[in-house]
């Protein structure tokens, strides 16, 4: 059997098929973000209709967030061994089944099993390791820009889904949210099956911007699970891996775990309507698109360590202000927080992915990022449950916001210690 001859990457043509792969990935990640944003609009309705405590509901969300991260390195390895499409289609089916079955749940344990575990594993398999895998497969040049674009899909999904899901929950009850997610996840499956190509070689091309002598990284001969574990063992011996892991723990704690999960309940505690609060959180997504896209562009041109230091410092300062700018209605100060926090929401991702490539080399950069992302979700899980405990014990979320802000400021110092022996050019190669 003869293989398809590989042609040079079309530099002079205005369009490379890699952009189709990016478009399909963007839509899938956007949908995944919608699935992930649903718990923040379900806390209040589930409290009212089921009589469950906020801490019980948040425990299921925390498990979902935790698995969203821990599945990532194994999903990255599975994508390398069995292909991107098979993994993503299986993940979408898992989300559809898990979300659909939640309409029958009667106890918090059912929510833990379905939303926490089944949906958590499904969404985790479509986490940002999916974006990193597609970007590394299809692009050599403009990789940072592409990563920024794909990362912004999270914000776009949040922007599109949050207000609508909140309206559904208030108007038709929380079950309408579960069914909407289930049907939408199923609808994305044929989109992946028919439009997403595995790699440029399948259509006889090189990745975008690849030189004529470019060769793809050699595939590992070991199993997917073993590859993930071996990568963790080797990376854990390198100090820079722990700097990256610690910084992304704080990133997850301060974003998806704290603000992503508890901003709406916190605003509601101050008398703000749930749909208004959801719209504000969605508006964070508007500025997140801008900030993340800009971060990808900057990562191609500037030292990723310095970018991370700036991002974490500005995020910490924003969190210090949050408890004092929540009111029963939108105020100018609330919009200022939304703008600055939105610009910084996931801007950390492109420079972090670039730095992961420096740990064990570019061939295993995605799997390394999978483990770093797992730390992100551990932080998110910790905040999702911990902030609920703070709210129950102290009556508000202020202490949780202040503690998160302090950790972000400390993080801005430690990220500057990553790969101190490497130049910016070596990090971006």
Q: What mean pLDDT comes out for the span 89-102?
A: 92
pLDDT of residue 10: 47
Contact 87, 184 (CB under 8 A): no
pLDDT band at 171 (very low <50, low <70, confident <90, very high): confident
Name the residue among 241, 223, 240 with its Cα closest to residue 232.
241
324: number of Cβ within 10 Å: 11
pLDDT of residue 14: 59
362: number of Cβ within 10 Å: 15
Reported as a single tens digit per residue, the pLDDT across 26-44 is 989 888 877 877 877 888 8
Q: What mean pLDDT comes out for the span 59-76?
A: 81
pLDDT of residue 199: 84
Q: 221: which 2 tokens?
A: 């001969």
pLDDT of residue 219: 61
For 51, phi then psi, to 5°, come to 75, 15
Q: Which residue matches tokens 């979700």? A: 377
More confidently predicted of 106 and 260:
106
Task: Spell out the domains of the chain, with CATH numbers in brackets.
Answer: 18-197+232-428 (1.20.1250.20)
Tell me how far apart the alpha carbons of residues 41 and 261 are, in angstroms, rounded to a whole number: 9
Tell me how far apart the alpha carbons of residues 236 and 211 are, in angstroms, rounded to a whole number: 33
pLDDT of residue 221: 62
Tell me how far apart the alpha carbons of residues 413 and 406 are, in angstroms, rounded to a whole number: 12
- Using CA atoms, how far residue 340 sits from 316, 334, 347, 381, 400, in Å, is 11, 10, 12, 24, 19
* Percentage, residues of the chain above pLDDT 70: 91
Q: Which of 6-10, 207-211, 394-398 reaches the highest mean pLDDT?
A: 394-398
Contact 162, 38 (CB under 8 A): no
For 205, phi then psi, to 5°, come to -125, 160
Q: What mean pLDDT comes out for the span 114-138?
A: 85
Contact 63, 71 (CB under 8 A): no
Reported as a single tens digit per residue, the pLDDT across 273-325 is 877 888 888 788 778 778 888 888 898 888 899 999 999 999 999 899 888 88
pLDDT band at 218 (very low <50, low <70, confident <90, very high): low
Assess whether pLDDT exceeds 70 at residue 213: yes
For 220, phi then psi, to 5°, come to -70, 145
Tell me how far apart the alpha carbons of residues 251 and 244 are, in angstroms, rounded to a whole number: 10
- Of 186-190, 215-219, 422-426, give the lowest mean pLDDT range: 422-426
More confidently predicted of 75 and 181:
181
The whole-model pTM stands at 0.69
pLDDT of residue 427: 59
Assess whether pLDDT exceeds 90 at residue 373: no
More confidently predicted of 108 and 163:
108
Q: What mean pLDDT comes out for the span 236-251?
A: 92
Assess whether pLDDT exceeds 80 at residue 215: no
**114 in helix, strand or coil?**
helix
- Average pLDDT for the chain: 83
Reported as a single tens digit per residue, the pLDDT across 334-353 is 888 888 888 888 789 889 98
């Amino acid at each position: 059997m003869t293989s398809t001859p590989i042609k040079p990457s079309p530099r002079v043509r205005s369009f490379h098929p890699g952009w189709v792969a990016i478009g399909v990935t963007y839509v899938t990640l956007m949908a995944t973000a919608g699935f992930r944003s649903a718990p923040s609009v379900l806390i209040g309705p589930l409290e009212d209709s089921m009589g469950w405590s906020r801490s019980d509901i948040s425990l299921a969300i925390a498990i979902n967030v935790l698995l969203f991260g821990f599945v990532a390195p194994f999903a990255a390895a599975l994508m390398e061994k069995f292909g991107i499409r098979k993994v993503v289609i299986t993940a979408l089916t898992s989300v559809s089944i898990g979300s659909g079955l939640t309409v029958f749940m009667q106890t918090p344990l059912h929510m833990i099993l379905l939303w926490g575990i089944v949906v958590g594993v499904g969404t985790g398999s479509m986490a940002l390791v999916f974006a990193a895998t597609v970007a590394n497969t299809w692009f050599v040049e403009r990789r940072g820009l592409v990563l920024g674009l794909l990362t912004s899909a999270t914000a776009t999904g949040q922007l599109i889904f949050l207000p609508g899901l909140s309206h559904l929950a208030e108007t038709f009850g929380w079950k309408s949210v579960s069914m909407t997610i289930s049907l939408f996840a199923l609808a994305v499956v044929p989109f992946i099956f028919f439009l997403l190509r595995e790699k440029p070689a399948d259509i006889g091309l090189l990745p975008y911007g690849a030189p004529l002598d470019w060769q793809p990284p050699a595939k590992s001969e070991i199993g997917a699970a073993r590859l993930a574990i071996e990568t963790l063992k080797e990376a854990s011996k390198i100090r820079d891996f722990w700097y990256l892991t610690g910084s992304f723990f704080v990133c997850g704690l301060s974003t998806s775990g704290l603000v992503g999960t508890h901003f709406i309940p916190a605003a509601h505690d101050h008398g703000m309507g749930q749909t208004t609060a959801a719209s504000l959180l969605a508006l964070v997504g508007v500025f997140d698109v801008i900030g993340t896209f800009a971060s990808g562009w900057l990562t191609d041109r500037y030292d990723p360590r310095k970018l991370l230091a700036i991002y974490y410092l500005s995020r910490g300062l924003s969190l210090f202000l949050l408890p004092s700018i929540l009111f029963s209605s939108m105020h100018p100060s609330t919009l200022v927080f939304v703008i600055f926090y939105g610009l910084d929401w996931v801007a950390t991702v492109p420079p972090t992915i670039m730095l992961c490539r420096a740990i064990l080399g570019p061939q295993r950069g995605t799997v390394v990022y999978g483990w770093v992302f797992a730390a992100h979700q551990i932080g998110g899980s910790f905040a999702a449950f911990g902030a609920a405990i703070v709210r129950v014990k102290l009556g508000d979320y202020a202490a949780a916001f202040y503690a998160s802000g302090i950790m972000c400021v400390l993080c801005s110092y430690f990220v500057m210690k990553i790969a101190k022996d490497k130049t910016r050019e070596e990090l971006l190669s």
